[in-house]
Homo-oligomer: A and B are copies of this chain.
Amino acid sequence: MQRAAALVRLGCCPRTPGPWGRSQSSAAAEASAVLKVRPERSRRERILTLESMNPQVKAVEYAVRGPIVLKAGEIELELQRGIKKPFTEVIRANIGDAQAMGQQPITFLRQVMALCTYPNLLDSPSFPEDAKKRARRILQACGGNSLGSYSASQGVNCIREDVAAYITRRDGGVPADPDNIYLTTGASDGISTILKILVSGGGKSRTGVMIPIPQYPLYSAVISELDAIQVNYYLDEENCWALNVNELRRAVQEAKDHCDPKVLCIINPGNPTGQVQSRKCIEDVIHFAWEEKLFLLADEVYQDNVYSPDCKFHSFKKVLYEMGPEYSSNVELASFHSTSKGYMGECGYRGGYMEVINLHPEIKGQLVKLLSVRLCPPVSGQAAMDIVVNPPVPGEESFELFHREKESVLGNLAKKAKLTEDLFNQVPGIHCNPLQGAMYAFPRIFIPSKAVEAAQAHKMAPDMFYCMKLLEETGICVVPGSGFGQREGTYHFRMTILPPVEKLKTVLQKVKDFHIKFLEKYA
């Protein structure tokens, strides 16, 4: 209180310190208490208010870091202050952040990064030669041989070459041109940049962007920011969240009444839904995009995260080429990858790339211009991306360790995917489709009508109410399905499978107990 009063004397709006966004309500309370004692002189109306702000930004929603996560932060603070709860820690199963859940970085990746960061280490005998070779190659391609220089806006040349070589290998020889590769600040940056270029028109000619429901809410957020029209197509929950082209057709036909559908976004493997698309499905989607003249966005950041033995990742690029020149020379496709997921989980470096094919040459110039305004993606993230696409190969000194680490992460994820599916499906009132890929379970939950009423009384979506209760009673933080979209009357939540196996088992048991109690309470 003393501090707040001092701030008012200085004319400063008092706020309690502490982690972001968590302390707002307490800060506001404290501020108004102070103001009663010493009314602030001539507080004028703010220029920037909810009424005057950009309405498109106001409309943005991003559930993965929304109110439930703010609440989780508050609870953590309360635990730190010694306030008793029925649990001792908050488990943040809301976001796909592997290293925050204890996953160790891939040694080779960090060795190369350290060498690039502090090149004196290139003389150290404690670093393997193959790591030094990678680091020297990256540094030679950087201005002043330093990660501290801006790169070209499209990214460091040799890293784009490595990405192209990776794609070619991945796609069994289908060529990739480094000139079509753009390094990005995580995949989110690439997706929003491409959407930004694509959106135009007014009224009924406004660009429509087709997205799956459930979706990853980056899409709806960017669509809102850009004032584009969101066109929902529903994934088929009864059929393992498969994408059905008839549903695409329905969606595009209905959309044509009120907008100009121009973009089709696909997430494969699915987030939050975890399905892996069959080759046939991808072929159908491409044909549909070709027919309907849609620009394809393929979000393939989980391409290394396929667990089900019956599934295989097929890239849109590869299938497009295999369908012949009618498609491969015509369909405009941007596909996205990232350092954040897969087996490396390097979210913090914000590395990513996009490959854009069949882009009109004039648009390529426009895209590079747009990228150049933000100068370049973080060069350290670009270096991380390089190691992801150019890891040690058999015969290299670091291969064995790298391979062991990679297989350990992916093996564990596969185990946890199965464990999660099996355990959820043992709970009455929970149904969980197979987790074929990605990093999440998105189980459907039955919410009794009394709970729906209670939620309405609290002005909450029923699944938000459910997730809040889960958080308050167990410390487990998951994201309500309403943040991703779902068919009306159905309820879900998204939970990551990233906690270590033993902890995940506890989490699942706690969710089970909570759910049974919840059903009883609102029966």
Q: How many residues from A make CB contacts under 8 Å with B?
A: 135
**Closest B residue to A7 using CB positions:** B175
Given the known inter-chain contacts A11-B328, A43-B330, please indicate yes or no for A114 contacting B118, CB distance below 8 A.
yes
A 437-452 binary contact with B (CB < 8 Å = 1; else 0): 0000000000000000
Distance of A143 Cα from B99 Cα, bound (Å): 7
Given the known inter-chain contacts A17-B178, A50-B363, A328-B10, please indicate yes or no for A148 contacting B114, CB distance below 8 A.
no
Q: Do B18 and A179 touch across chains, with their CB atoms under 8 A apart?
A: yes
* Interfacial residues of chain A within 307-327, with CB under 8 A of chain B in the complex: 321, 324-327
Q: Do B361 and A378 touch across chains, with their CB atoms under 8 A apart?
A: no
Chain A interface helix/strand/loop/mixed: loop
Q: Do A154 and B20 touch across chains, with their CB atoms under 8 A apart?
A: yes
Cβ-based interface call for A462 (8 A)? no
Contacts of A345 in B (CB 8 A): 148
Contacts of A328 in B (CB 8 A): 10-12
Given the known inter-chain contacts A50-B362, A147-B349, A379-B349, please indicate yes or no for A13 contacting B62, CB distance below 8 A.
no
Contacts of A16 in B (CB 8 A): 179
Cβ-based interface call for A347 (8 A)? yes
**Closest B residue to A142 using CB positions:** B348
The residue in A101, A174, A326, A330 that gathers the most chain B C-beta atoms within 10 A of its C-beta is A330
Within the complex, the shortest CB–CB distance from A465 to chain B, in Å, comes to: 21
Cβ-based interface call for A41 (8 A)? yes
Contacts of A293 in B (CB 8 A): 47
Cβ-based interface call for A278 (8 A)? no
Within the complex, the shortest CB–CB distance from A247 to chain B, in Å, comes to: 21
Within the complex, the shortest CB–CB distance from A246 to chain B, in Å, comes to: 22
Given contacts A15-B179, A20-B155, 20 further A-B contacts (CB under 8 A): A10-B325, A11-B329, A12-B328, A15-B177, A43-B330, A46-B358, A46-B359, A48-B295, A53-B366, A62-B372, A65-B153, A97-B144, A97-B150, A100-B143, A113-B117, A148-B347, A185-B374, A222-B373, A378-B380, A378-B381
Tell me the A residues contacting B by CB distance below 8 Å.
7, 10-13, 15-21, 23-24, 27-28, 40-44, 46-50, 52-55, 57-58, 60-62, 64-66, 95, 97, 99-103, 105, 110-111, 113-114, 117-118, 121, 124, 126, 142-144, 146-155, 157, 160-161, 174-175, 177-180, 185-186, 188-189, 192, 196-200, 217-218, 221-222, 225, 262, 293-295, 321, 324-330, 332, 344-350, 357-366, 368-370, 372-381
Could you write out 11 A-B pairs with CB less than 8 Å apart?
A: A10-B328, A24-B364, A48-B198, A48-B332, A50-B363, A57-B196, A99-B149, A110-B117, A217-B373, A378-B380, A380-B381
